[in-house]
Structure 1
């Protein structure tokens, strides 16, 4: 619910922060309209989850999920705002504060001899992100950060008209990244999915480089875009894709070579013989690093239609290859299908960035 709500709300709001001018004076009105729309949608998402959660049954049907979803959407908006302003320390502070709150709560419950209470943790995670996110938003945009007046509501309508392509991009990416999660257990059972997850776990720290670039580069990219520095824009994107990809591929080779030790020490002798899956995951995550760079570039250029078409192309290619690859290769076929979709996606992203730079961005902005 958090992932889906974050994707949908960001498609209407936060995605537009990245193409605003870097100077606060040139973005104030549009920024406040975006922030107010995000807060309104966060509240709506929380209410919808509160209505749906009881229908999911015991174990999933907790009302605490509503607090988690609403708070997470606010925290995501705050991190996006900070990243678009180049205030990376404030962006990191939102996650750091949430982590500290949850860590202290788990430690306290363990010290008292209790197991962690899942509903309580969900509530704390949501409240921590909402509080930290609200503080960051107030720090960057002032006490009147959220504008709910007539001018802001007019901008909401413009945002809605301009968000169709970003919404399609988000929905396509959800299909692309999560299709295997459903098809693998459907055909081979949950243990097969557990094996794929085990093979990916040791590689995820390397992908943090891509996430860091995606968050930190949008401000410099926007500055280069508004300065007309196409060569500097392209150079930064290539660097941001190449370095994380190289590190990820190298690390996947190391993990694959050491997999007998990983299987024995970390997984207690389970999940043996997954060296091929580790290398395939390395390719998936490597392409993901390139995707992050292309995403940052197209969002900064305001080429949301091109971004949506690239995401859609990758999702269609992945979906078309998924079942044949699973039948041919077994569970690892999901990774091969994802790689094929990723190659299509990254190729389309690169072409779209090149066209966007030649065209000089998208033209008129909704700021006016």
Structure 2
């Protein structure tokens, strides 16, 4: 299916330099785009690839467009943020080629007569919907999913196969939950009695807002007494662990393998690089950005970029550094003693 450039610009905005009747069939990276495809330049460091690109048209910002016409003969679409424009155009092309799911309940699914499933929803084979659960309009529940008693998934959500949503957990509008995710498992709560662990019942819920995406094999634990809360627009990558009673602010994004311990409270518009870790009961304000592999051991009360790890080094060099770190305390005491001696000698000489 081909789309006129003029139609894309009318739909998504931008300034077109070239023929509005030029047709494209999709969007692709600079190096891979064919003569019937649209591409984009979101990183100025890749300007050198433009001359070699076979793309029919290019999405760029006005600053990067300067000088490119000499090396590239295709059309241009000038926008403020090429990467955002790419995302929107890519979504549009994907929707044109998507095969809509069949509405209704698959004969192989198990749906309680006391559940409410909207007639426009799609329930896949071997899915289980327990009593009092609510499935909203145009929502897709993939094969093998389990939706627990009293749980709810709001309209226009996509729950991929083999997702488990425990009792009384709630997911908002337009959610995407990928395979293997577990929403509402028990939090890690135990009391120690003379070396024996006594389980603390986890009676809270998981409440997930609108436009949230949850990656494959990610786990979000239910609260112990109060609820675990994921606000609107949060994006969680694969294999993330969110502990019980955490509160994740709106539009925060976490890359793969991030771990957040129980009762941590994270603000809005934060980002966490892959494998970052957050200890429990900490507060992180809005607009904090944590680098990959960092360990957050204290609350963060000011916005900004934070990093907490040693740079990679050869093992022998790392061992030397570790040895020095272990001896810093004694070295500090020696320096203090030397400072006292120098001060005494200076006073005597004066």
What TM-score bracket applies, with the shorter chain setting the length? Answer: under 0.3
- TM-score, normalised relative to structure 2: 0.22
Q: Which has the higher strand share?
A: 2
- Structure showing greater radius of gyration is 2
Query: Which structure shows the bigger proportion of residues in helix conformation?
Result: 1
TM-score norm. by structure 1 comes to 0.21
